[in-house]
Amino acid sequence: MKVKKSLFSFSLEEMRDYLTENQFSRFSADQIFNWVYKKFVFDLEGWSNVSKKIKEHFLENIDLSLPKIVWNGLSEDGTRKFLTRFSDGQTVENVAIPGKDRLTICLSSQVGCAIGCVFCHTGTMGLKRNLGSGEIIGQFLSITKWLKENVGDDVRFTNVVYMGQGEPLHNFANVKQATKLLLEDKGIGLGQRRITLSTSGLVHQIEKLGDFPPVNIAISLHASHDNIRTELMPINKIYDLKRLFSAIKKIPLKAYRRITYEYILIDGLNDRLEDIEGLDHLLNSRESKINIIPFNEYPESAFKRPSPEKIRWFQKELLDRGYITTVRVTMGQDILAACGQLKSELEKPNLWKKEQIMA
């Protein structure tokens, strides 16, 4: 069977070239982009100014399907979690996180994940497969469409984080292409500072970030000593802190940009004074921002969340040492939509308090 290329994996220039190669007008690419990315019209019938010949050609040669939203749950704090299914039946989870002046979508880059961080629900799945760039953009489009139809026509995502299922740099080429598409002016049109790529520390791929659009970078650090990091993230056996930081130093940072270090704070494990001193030793306060993520417990999780007093103390010690340090407000915990809790679990709907099967 012929494998069709996804409509949502083309950049504008690639679409123009594709149309030209197939003897169609180059200009139609702009019209198609306008229908898809500005008006969210995915049904060819609705593309009123696009020629019948192009539509016939697309029906035969291009994959026009969007992933399907098969479940969604709304948390008490407004966070909405989605289970999104691709044409081969594989599913990933996405989260839409409302903020004061933003709406962030958390995208998945893989089905499952090979990295196996021990604190992460997704990590227990193993890696099933990479997602194509069209499938990554498809998550953005499907969920936007769903929100427009079910919440309000003015709903618009302002920010994207690659913090769903998967290690984005393990799927470098497709995530790179998807990021270019998120930035495309005549497409989704997000700014570089509105996109955050989060990595567990795949050193050989971090070294290639010079060849990646200049978006925000977040490093999942989680420990400042090798023995603890290895316990939490098996990848540290291969890429220890020394190798990781020698690669991070080579990331081309635009002026005034910082790298965010994600730090899951776990009771009694990495919340001690020597962990703070270790961070101070590793990081440079002018170039680093630390985001403390108090551990989100999930069914059968082996770790505990520190007390609020301990979290405040940890943050203050870092602030006193000159680091911009935030504590992530946990959102969506009642529906397992918080960081590290994503896992495709349609077979266990009892984990979700607000189940709502959509299809």
User: Shortest gap between Cβ of 95 and ligand SF4 (angstroms)?
Assistant: 13
168 binds ligand SF4 (CB under 6 A): no
Residue 358 CA to residue 71 CA, distance in Å, equals 5
Exactly one of 106, 117, 120, 339 is catalytic; which is it? 339
Q: Does 219 bind ligand SF4 (CB under 6 A)?
A: no
339 tagged catalytic: yes
* Biggest CA pair distance of the chain: 68
Q: Report if residue 221 touches ligand SF4, rule: CB under 6 A.
A: no
Q: Which of 113, 190, 219, 290 binds ligand SF4 (CB under 6 A)?
A: 113
Least Å from the CB of residue 217 to ligand SF4: 14
Q: Which stretch binds ligand SF4 (CB under 6 A): 120-128, 139-147, 240-248, 321-329?
A: 120-128
Q: What are phi and psi of 167, to 5 degrees?
A: -100, 110
Positive or negative, the Cα torsion across 356, 90, 143, 54? negative
Q: 183-202: which residues touch ligand SF4 (CB under 6 A)? A: 200
- Joined together, the tokens standing for residue 236 give 């540290």
User: Residue 116, interface with ligand SF4 (CB under 6 A)?
Assistant: yes
Alpha-carbon distance of 223 to 202, in angstroms, equals 16
Which span sits near ligand SF4 by CB under 6 A: 115-123, 271-279, 297-305, 350-358? Answer: 115-123
Position 122 contacts ligand SF4 (CB under 6 A): yes
- Write down the H helix ranges in the chain: 12-21, 28-33, 52-61, 133-150, 172-183, 203-206, 226-232, 241-248, 273-282, 308-320
Q: Does 293 bind ligand SF4 (CB under 6 A)?
A: no
Closest contact distance (angstroms) between CB of 167 and ligand SF4 is 4
Alpha-carbon gap, residue 131 to 134, rounded angstroms: 8
* Interface stretch with ligand SF4, choices 32-40, 165-173, 298-306, 348-356 (CB under 6 A): 165-173
Tokens of 116: 């196996």
6-14, 162-170, 175-183, 239-247 -> range binding ligand SF4 (CB under 6 A): 162-170
Q: Return the number of the residue (176 or 343) whose C-beta is nearest ligand SF4.
A: 343
Q: Cβ distance 91 to 105 under 8 Å? A: no
Which of 123, 132, 134, 332 contacts ligand SF4 by CB under 6 A? 123
Paired tokens of 343: 């896992």
Neighbouring C-beta atoms of residue 329, cutoff 10 Å: 11
To the nearest 10°, the Cα dihedral for 256, 261, 262, 267?
-130
Instruction: Please give the positions annotated as active site.
Output: 93, 339
List interacting residues with ligand SF4 (CB under 6 A).
113, 115-117, 120, 122-123, 165-167, 200, 340
